[in-house]
Structure formats: structure tokens, C-alpha cells
Amino acid sequence: MKNLTRLLGAGLVALTLATTAQGAVDLQTIREFTLPAKPVDVALSPDGRLTFVLADNGNILVYAVDSGLKDTIAVGPGIDRIAVADEGRTLVLTNTKTKQVRQVSVAFQATIDTANSPFKGKKDAPIVVAVFSDFQ
């Protein structure tokens, strides 16, 4: 210890030997899903709100933390890995048998119920333009 103090000079404040420490890990289940098919791989969106489960039947099951199954995306057989990129807007699918990687764009469409909303024009018009505004 004297030799170490001489080598380091005044810069030595304390020397601590590593000892075995015990700690506890607290696990809390956020959401649990019962799947209709065997999972092959899983990926999470960067914000943690979406879980993409690659199933062995060639589908990606998209689960939202707050609402359960959001959608199913058919990607076909052979895909054995999935990764999420671009803030969850791109999925990277890998087929190790064929040595292929495929990037697919993900865009969720929202259905808007306008049944009781005010409208202008024909009720059965082939095209509907919905305008959202805030008067403040």
C-alpha cells in the first residue's frame, strides 16, 4: 500500500476492495399476451408501446400495450428474425435459410367514426373529406 501511495501521490483518496454484494431485482409484468401461434422472434418499438411478435405461421402480430392485438401483418413463411428501425416505422425481416433481409414500411391507418358528426354535402358521397380544427 505504501508503494501504491508513493506512485499515485496525493491523487489517491481511497482504495476499495471488491466484495460480494447482494441485491434484489423487482420484476413487474407490464402486459402478457396469449398468442394464436408459436412465437419465433419478438421486437419492441422504441417507445415501448408496440410489441411485434413474429409467429411461426408467417404473420407478425402487433400488440399495443394499452389495447392488446392491434393488427396482423402477413409476411410469409421462412422469416425467422425481426427487428424494428426508424422509430417503429420500418421492420427488418430476416430469412437465414435463403440469406435474405427485407425491409418493410409500417403505416397504421386509423378509422374515424363520423356517424354523428356534422357534415356538408350528400350523405352517401363516394369521397369524404374530414377536417380537424381547434378554434383556440
Q: Write down all domains in the chain, each with its CATH number in brackets.
A: 33-108 (2.40.10.360)
Amino acid found at 22: Q
- pLDDT, one tens digit per residue, over 66-85 is 888 989 999 988 999 999 98
Average pLDDT over residues 9-35: 68
pLDDT of residue 23: 73
Greater confidence (3 vs 83) lies with 83
Q: What letter does residue 57 receive in the DSSP assignment?
A: T
In sequence order, what DSSP letters do the residues of 72-112 get, joined into one string?
EEE--TT--EEEEEGGGTEEEEEETTTTEEEEEE-------
Greater confidence (15 vs 55) lies with 55
In this structure, are strands 81-85 and 39-44 parallel, antiparallel, or unpaired? Answer: unpaired
Greater confidence (113 vs 83) lies with 83
Phi-psi region of 122 (alpha: psi -120 to 50; beta: other; left: phi over 0): beta
